């Protein structure tokens, strides 16, 4: 049984089947079979932005079909419809995700792309949020992706157009509309109180 991340080969390739056997204290993600250790406890500004956003989004979807989940919540992104644990090489834990196709939900989390993912950057994860995860979410078919930057008090909003994300805007104030749920508008100041 794997109980410490040091027991894993940092150059190894792992699947969701491996991931399920680990009993780690640290939160980790699998990105194309490679281990990504998550930051220790997030900073206060990260937690505040996450809580404020989650509250606003949950309030909007109260009584609706779509479900809202906060990290840690496993999102498995299979390639080419390979859905068995030993065939899945990518497992992420977005800060917030919204899933409207409830058939994607099971006891282990979400199998397939959520409709909307929000990542809140930290110094350790910003590069992954803007690069690696950006491309993963784009390829998986996530319809809308927000990258929230607490230090800069900015929100980058991307929507999937065809097979690629297009930058809608970088919001540093005002109202932030969700493109795939047009009636949901998030005031910038509500995120960064």
Task: State residue 109's pLDDT score.
Answer: 97
Task: State residue 90's pLDDT score.
Answer: 95
What's the whole-model pTM score? 0.94
Predicted confidence (pLDDT) per residue in 47-106, tens digit = 999 999 999 999 999 999 999 999 999 999 988 777 889 999 999 999 999 999 999 999
Comparing C-alpha atoms, which of 164, 98, 150 is closest to residue 120? 150
The CA distance from 158 to 116, in Å, is: 10
Residue 9's pLDDT band (cuts 50, 70, 90):
very high
For the chain, which domains are there?
A: 5-191 (3.90.1570.10)
Predicted confidence (pLDDT) per residue in 135-170, tens digit = 999 999 999 999 999 999 999 999 999 999 999 999
Answer whether 38's CB lies under 8 Å from 126's CB: no
Predicted confidence (pLDDT) per residue in 29-45, tens digit = 999 999 988 877 788 99
Strands 75-76 and 91-92, sheet pairing:
antiparallel
Residue 129's pLDDT band (cuts 50, 70, 90):
very high
What is the overall mean pLDDT for the chain?
Answer: 94
């Amino acid at each position: 049984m794997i109980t410490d991340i040091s027991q894993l080969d940092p150059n190894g390739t792992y699947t969701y089947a491996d991931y399920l056997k680990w009993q780690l204290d640290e939160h980790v993600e699998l990105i194309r079979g490679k281990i990504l250790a998550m930051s220790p406890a997030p900073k206060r500004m990260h937690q505040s932005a996450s809580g404020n956003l989650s509250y606003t989004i949950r309030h909007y979807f109260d009584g609706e079909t779509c479900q809202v989940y906060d990290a840690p919540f496993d999102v498995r992104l299979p390639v080419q419809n390979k859905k068995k644990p030993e065939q899945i090489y990518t497992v992420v834990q977005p800060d917030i995700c919204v899933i409207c196709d409830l058939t994607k939900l099971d006891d282990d989390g979400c199998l397939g792309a959520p409709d909307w993912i929000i990542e809140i950057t930290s110094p350790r994860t910003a590069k992954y949020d803007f690069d690696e995860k950006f491309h993963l979410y784009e390829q998986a078919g996530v319809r809308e992706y927000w990258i929230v930057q607490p230090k800069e008090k900015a929100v980058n909003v991307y929507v999937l157009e065809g097979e690629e994300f297009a930058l809608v805007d970088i919001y540093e104030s005002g109202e932030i509309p969700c493109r795939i749920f047009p009636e949901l508008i998030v005031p910038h100041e509500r995120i960064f109180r």
